[in-house]
Amino acid sequence: MNLQINHHTIEQTHSLKLAGEVDAYTAPKLKEVLVPLTEKEGQEIIIDLSGIEYMDSTGLGIFVGALKSTKANNSSMKLRGMTERVRRIFEITGLTEVMDIENEVKGEAK
């Protein structure tokens, strides 16, 4: 499957909406869009993962690198709209403890 990335910017706030899969084949595309945003100072990056059906360790690595870069450049990154399946991967790896992740899980009863 492919990865689609919709990117909208308002001043220093970047909103990315991802759909598809983040794996070894599609991760370079995500990195190409995400990393330059994290290298600018004072940016706010909001990533909507509600359309992500699958993510592997390559995808997690992109987000870890982006987190380090945002912290080094006085910026912020927030992940939102995770499906239960994707959130589980972040929980198992302990990334829910270090990343700003919105609590609402797609498909969960409120």
Is there a domain that residue 42 lies in?
A: yes
Is 109 domain-assigned?
no
Backbone Cα Rg of the chain: 13
- For the cut 90, the answer to whether the pLDDT of residue 1 exceeds it is no
Looking at residue 110, its pLDDT comes to: 37
Whole-angstrom distance, CA of residue 19 vs CA of residue 41: 27
What confidence tier does 103 reach under pLDDT thresholds 50, 70, 90?
A: confident
Q: State yes or no: pLDDT of 44 exceeds 50.
A: yes
Q: Is the pLDDT of residue 93 over 80?
A: yes
What distance in Å separates the CA atoms of residue 23 and residue 21, rounded to the nearest whole number?
Answer: 6
Does 8 map to a domain? no
The SS3 of residue 102 is coil
pLDDT band at 106; cut points 50, 70, 90: low
Is position 2 within any domain?
A: no
The SS3 call for residue 103 is coil
